[in-house]
Structure 1
Amino acid sequence: MSEAAEFIDFTLQREATEERAPAGRDPGVGLRYYGASVGAVRGTVRDAGRKFRPLSHDQVTALSSELWTRPVFELRLAAVVLLQSNQRLLRHSDLTRIEGFLRDARTAALVDPLAVDVVGPLIHGLTDQSRARAESILDRWAGEPDPWLRRAAVLAPLRAVRGASIDADRVVRRTRAAAANDDSDLVREAVAVLRTELAKIDPGRAPSL
């Protein structure tokens, strides 16, 4: 492991408690749990950023992949927090890496922050052709068989919806595609969340989802 990854791993193991670890386990996800709190994960990533700064784009993405490779929930959450904290460095080409994370995550505790706090702001900050290519990737996710990718496609624009700075037509079309003939609670739940937020800014569109 790199020095930065070792620092994060060691610190999170030190922050863990036996009482918290069993409560966080999800048998269907197939991950180990150290038992560190979300606050500890965020604090550790913040400390790592200070200790090893400045981190370049390539260092951030490489470290996120290194953390994700270990099948430990807290390390994967640290990868998500790392991307959140360095969102300004990310590019549309990083969506390929993030798509791999989403396919592998299999829990809303990782998929939702990746979608809402990484993918959405990343795309919202792009312009011109990079923005168009990124939006087309979300459109593709909406038609994927994997319900976690469809959930991510629905939730990604959530922050932009709350800020009333979206292409509502495209969001509605994409959400309909993600939910078409779908019996997945994962997608239905995401659509319900988006419908509630969309109704606050455009009540006429929300019922059509």
Structure 2
Amino acid sequence: MSDAGEFVDLALQRESSWEKAMETRERLGGSLKVYGASVGAVRGTIRDALKRYKNLSHDDIAALSSELWDEPVFERRLAAVVLLQTKVGLLVNTDLTRIEGFIRDAGTLELVDPLAKDVLRPLLSRLAGQAKDRAERVVERWGQDPDHQLRRAAALALGADTP
């Protein structure tokens, strides 16, 4: 695990409580493991990580988000979403492949919805020209996919508030 990934993971574990873990596990229905860290703790951890590791490039952000996502732990995956939200200005249309994988593997709409609204939507709105055309075609294709999470993400990314 990278230094930044280890920093985030350990901080999330330190911020956990058994009460929050039980509440989150019950809400998610057991689709993911849970540490029990609050959303505020996840956001603060990413803020601290970005202060500590100041010069993360696009490739570093992509690698760290994938590293956090690899373990099926809700807070780690939420941290990956927060990281992408925070650094959406660095993302490019080729990041759609990674984001598609995240959506397919999310296990909960609590991860799908912010990926769609706070990562995909701003990414699509920022792209121009051929990159925008390609990205929109990809997301429109998602709207026809059998995976309900991917269809929902496509609808939300393309402007629907609720699909």
The alignment's C-alpha RMSD in Å is 1.2
Equivalent position to 2:29, from 27, 30, 34: 27
Give the structure, 1 or 2, with the largest relative contact order (CA under 8 Å, sep 6 or more): 2
Aligned to 1:8: 8
Alpha-carbon distance in 2 for matches of 1:73, 1:28: 10
Aligned to 1:53: 54
Aligned to 1:113: 114
Kindly report which structure 2 residues correspond to 1:1-209, keeping only aligned pairs within 5 A, or say none. 1-25=1-25, 26-27=28-29, 29=31, 31-158=32-159, 190-191=162-163
Alpha-carbon distance in 1 for matches of 2:19, 2:158: 36
Instruction: Give structure 1 regions of 4+ aligned residues with deviation exceeding 2 angstroms.
Output: none
Aligned-pair CA distance for 1:106: 2.1
Aligned to 1:174: none
Unaligned runs of 5+ in 1: 163-189, 192-209
Deviation string, structure 1 residues 94-143 (Cα, Å, up to 9, x no partner): 00000000000021110000000001100110000000000001110000
Matched position secondary structure for 1:143? coil
Aligned to 1:204: none
Aligned-pair CA distance for 1:154: 0.7
Q: Computing the radius of gyration over CA atoms, which structure comes out larger, 1 or 2?
A: 1
Aligned-pair CA distance for 1:71: 1.1
Aligned-pair CA distance for 1:54: 1.3
Match of 1:12, as an amino acid? Answer: L
TM value normalised by structure 2: 0.96
Unaligned runs of 5+ in 2: none
Alpha-carbon distance in 2 for matches of 1:156, 1:40: 26
Alpha-carbon distance in 2 for matches of 1:80, 1:139: 21
Percent sequence identity over aligned pairs: 58
Alpha-carbon distance in 2 for matches of 1:146, 1:71: 19
TM value normalised by structure 1: 0.75
Alpha-carbon distance in 2 for matches of 1:90, 1:103: 19
Match of 2:158, as an amino acid? Answer: P
Alpha-carbon distance in 2 for matches of 1:123, 1:27: 32
Matched position secondary structure for 2:18? coil
